[in-house]
A and B are shown apart, each in its own frame.
Chain A
Amino acid sequence: MSAPESPSSADLDAPASRSRTRTSEPAAPRRDVPLLEAEHLRVLFPVRAGVLGRTREHVHAVDDVTLWLDEGETLGVVGESGCGKTTLIRTLARLVAVTAGIIRFDGQDITRASRGELEPVRRKLQMVFQDPQASLNPRKRIGQILATPLRQRGVQRAEIEDGARELLARVGLNPEHLSRYPHEFSGGQRQRIGIARALAMNPRLIMLDEPVSALDVSVQAQVINLLDELQDEMQLSYMFVAHDLSVVRHVSDRIAVMYLGKIVESSPAEELYTKPIHPYTAALLAAVPIPDPRENRRRDRSVVQGEPPNPITPPPGCRFHTRCPRATDICRAVEPLLASYPSGHLAACHHPLNVTEAELLNVTRSDASPLSAGSELPSSQGSADRSP
């Protein structure tokens, strides 16, 4: 999503204009094809009711999401619990069936690929799971857990044990622990084993599904540093899902914010923190605790009230209007398009924050906009009454 569109808005609609957002590496080889790409992806879960199990309604878990991830990049995905971010990442890893839309890996359409066709993709696309306890088979030794992917990759029988030792050393564990069981490790160690298992396939992209949210804060930092080192060493790309903006900030090049199955804002990582455009992003940022209690109390909290609406019957128009302090009539009627602002910043809001009049005049509709979005470009009336 965060369509890295070039700053000049003239050629925004041409897909070739996507450029890498990492501005510091101008010499990096331009790739025309992103590593991972999703177009208008939808995942609906049927809700069966009655004796005959007829499907009456659907949970809109992921609703028209368009995003892409370039090689070597880290894309952070944040949102409240239940906003569909885990479903999104599991769908991209082809663990959940796609209702509509297209997934491409390295240019190849894998939306409906069979298990055999997926095999080469599986090697390059691995996943690390949220609960390090549940993601390791409790009846298997660490050596066995790591041997499975090595065998899948075609490593010779004689070299499997050495390979597993090497993996353990790589993630900072004692290679002698191969014969131990998962229950003999701490949470942080288990997550390291989960990372080692993903590395065993020698992947290019690792999907990280809240990899640190089950860990202590001190251990979180160590695991994140490990991920960072591995990315540099092995030229990995990450898709990093979290419900916590402060965690994502350290690792991401770009960040996408999800709300109720849709992407509401995406931008280069730092810009999202300094200049949030969508009111929901601003609310998420305001909820990040500041370690100093005095400062924490002093800051302005535009706290968003209540729970997200039911994803079975999402509200019409902008999905956030039921909780948004800036909502007006248009928000209740028309679904906002994803508008592209300078430096590849996208936001789906009729009344954006932190935008100048000049920027508003140059705004265009992004390709990543949901198909059902209206054609109205964001207006300034919402931002006009903003207190200075």
Chain B
Amino acid sequence: MASEAAIGTDRDGAEASGFPAGPDLVHPGIGPYRLAWRRLLRNRVALFFGGLFILIVVLCLLAPVYANDIAHTGPNVNHITDVVKVNGKSEEVVSSTGLPIGPTWQGRFLLGADKNGRDVAVRLLYGGRNSLEVGAIATLITMVLAVIVGLLAGYFRGFTDGVLSRLMDIIWAYPALLLGVALGVMLAVSGINLGLFELRGGSLLIPALIVGVVYIPYVAKPIRGQVLGLREREFIDAARVQGLGNLRIMLGEILPNLASTIIVFVPLMLANSILLEASLSFLGAGVQAPNSSWGTMISDGTRYIPAAIHLVLVPGLMLVAAVLGVNVFGDGVRDALDPRARIRIER
């Protein structure tokens, strides 16, 4: 078969100078990311959980629509004295004994009310927005700073590495939750004022900043290790022989090789950040009232167990679904990008 022979020459026969000229034989190169994307598309479980997370994100983004058009209330509106009709019967939103109504499975108070007569479903979606927002900003802070620290420490080694790595060790020496609580208690209410840089107490950026900083070493260390290995590869020598400077080698040669690690860390850090934010908020060191987040809702609800268990169950299940979704999806992304990689987050 002439055509097959021709393909054979084209493949390994670099060596030959007479390659077939047929343009149809030269397919464009398939890059590592295209291959990873194909592997990810074959992983149904990862796609399902990724879809679950996206669904939660979309629902939370639609919170105002739900509040205005279906529940006809806001996240911070009290209905302590209201009466709502359930299956034709009138029921008090908050009973005379102070017990809030359970799920009604209809437009108003779909998932019940809390002790102030606020709609749990509305608060759940608005709280989800805060939880996801804090998680996303924290992940962004972690990734940007960790990549910078890891690149500098791994590339320059020596003194720079010593200073940066010891700095990371200081953060790492404290358990993440404990450090987060300590910083949160200190900063969440009073705010941060560094002259030019000022955050008022109660701002969502404060818990995001705390969570983001606490997790930097968990990403910076593995990236530093990878850079230490990459800088010894021959293609770095090749770049140096071409006269490229340190900055261009770091950004142009090393960073593209870190991309898959970074992509793998994003969903994993997102899950961890959402969890840490929930823990901080649960302990009162995260999102501050009247803002809600899944963590604060669980915290508020614990006092009404077991009579009004929905106050804890609803945000708890939402938190589990979101974290599980992003975690399983993240595992799938890791498997797709490098089937042999074993990047694990040490906890």
Contact = CB atoms under 8 A, between A and B. Distances in A.
Given A135-B235, A138-B257, A139-B256, A174 B19 contact: yes
Contact of B237 (A95, A181, A188): A95
Contact of B234 (A131, A148, A186): A131
B246 to A, nearest CB: 9
Interface string B4-37: 0000001110111101000100101111100000
A40 interface: no
Given A122-B243, A148-B244, A189-B12, 15 more contacts: A127-B238, A127-B241, A129-B237, A136-B235, A138-B257, A139-B32, A174-B19, A176-B26, A179-B28, A179-B29, A184-B29, A188-B12, A189-B15, A192-B14, A219-B15
Nearest to A200: B242
Given A139-B259, A152-B244, A201-B242, A181 B14 contact: no
B88 interface: no
Contacts of A127: 237-238, 241
Contacts of B238: 127, 129, 135-136, 194, 197
Contacts of B19: 174
A198 B222 CA distance: 33
Contacts of A142: 29
A127 B238 CA distance: 7
Given A176-B26, A177-B26, A181-B32, A126 B241 contact: yes
Nearest to B241: A127
A174 B29 contact: no
Nearest to A191: B14
Nearest to A121: B243
Contact of A186 (B14, B233, B242, B256): B14
A95 B249 CA distance: 14
Contacts of A122: 241-243
Interface residues of A, number: 46
B42 interface: no
Listed residue (A137, A189, A197, A219) with the most chain B CB atoms within 10 angstroms of its CB: A137
A198 B237 CA distance: 12
A203 to B, nearest CB: 10
B242 A95 contact: no
A353 to B, nearest CB: 38
A252 interface: no
A291 B124 CA distance: 80
Interface in A199-225: 201, 219, 222
Interface of A: 90, 93, 95, 115, 118-119, 122-123, 125-127, 129-131, 134-142, 148-149, 152, 172-174, 176-177, 179-181, 183-186, 188-189, 192, 194, 197, 201, 219, 222
Contact of A148 (B10, B12, B233, B252): B252
- Which secondary structure dominates chain B's binding surface? helix
Given A135-B234, A177-B29, A172 B241 contact: no
B200 interface: no
B245 interface: yes
Given A174-B19, A185-B14, A141 B31 contact: yes
Please name the 10 residue pairs, one residue from A and one from B, whose CB atoms are nearest each other, closest first: A180-B29, A189-B14, A135-B234, A139-B256, A122-B243, A176-B26, A129-B234, A134-B234, A137-B235, A179-B29
Interface residues of B, number: 32
Nearest to A150: B242
Nearest to B257: A139
B239 interface: yes
Nearest to B26: A176
B253 interface: yes
11 contacts: A115-B243, A122-B243, A129-B237, A135-B233, A135-B237, A137-B256, A176-B26, A189-B14, A197-B238, A197-B242, A222-B15
Contacts of B259: 139
A176 B23 contact: yes
Interface in B256-295: 256-257, 259
B38 interface: no
B240 interface: yes
A103 B11 CA distance: 43
Nearest to A137: B235
Contacts of A136: 235, 238
A127 to B, nearest CB: 5
Contact of A188 (B15, B30, B253): B15
A148 B245 CA distance: 12
A136 to B, nearest CB: 6
Interface in B175-215: none
A299 to B, nearest CB: 33
B239 A148 contact: yes
A264 B259 CA distance: 47
A283 B343 CA distance: 49
Listed residue (B14, B15, B28, B243) with the most chain A CB atoms within 10 angstroms of its CB: B14
A309 to B, nearest CB: 26
B245 A115 contact: yes
A148 to B, nearest CB: 6
A238 to B, nearest CB: 15
Interface string B107-137: 0000000000000000000000000000000
